[in-house]
Amino acid sequence: MIFRRGDDPAPPATTMYQLQQRLASVGEDYWIDNGLGQHAYRVDGKALRLRRTFVLKDTSDNELLHLQRKLLRLRETMVMQHGGQTVATVHKHLIGLRDRFTIELADGGELHTRGNFVDHEYTVIRDGSVVAEVSKRWLSVRDTYAISIVEGQDIPFLLATAVCIDVLCHEGR
């Protein structure tokens, strides 16, 4: 895990982001801030849609990824698209004591998650290595959690993955 303490070896260099959702906002819009507290990305929730839809945008309002929940699926699913092309599909597993997710990449690769998704305490793993960690334990503000991403990884993609998992785990919110 990226947030370890003690005698563990030094973790890889990471970039920190903070996602804070507003409890009452039309369309579920919110900002993702960088480690300095500056707005870095905006999650634009589209109101009044049959399927839950979000758009991850940069600070210049450029669309980076389009996130949409698929209806009438056996497994809860969200699709990430860029320029109309599917980039990845996030699937919630059906079987198990704890929730698990698989992120299938359009190029054929996969990422996996493990942890406690309800409490925002989980890791994203690619080829056996942790590439991102989501943690609420360092923050006391409700509906705020930190996302630590290993340097060299696709930051918007991993932030969008965290948004998708949040949507699939906290549907009633």
pLDDT tens digits, residue range 50-92?
A: 667 999 999 999 999 999 998 766 678 999 999 999 999 999 8
The pTM assigned to this predicted structure is 0.85
**pLDDT number for residue 19:** 86
CA 79, CA 170: separation in Å to the nearest integer? 17
The tens digit of pLDDT for each residue in 102-153 reads: 999 999 999 999 888 777 789 999 999 999 999 877 555 566 788 999 999 9
Contacts 24+ apart (CB under 8 A), 89-94: 90/161, 90/164, 90/165, 90/168, 92/168
**pLDDT number for residue 138:** 59
Q: How far is CA 137 from CA 15, 19, 44, 86, 129, in A?
A: 17, 13, 26, 33, 22
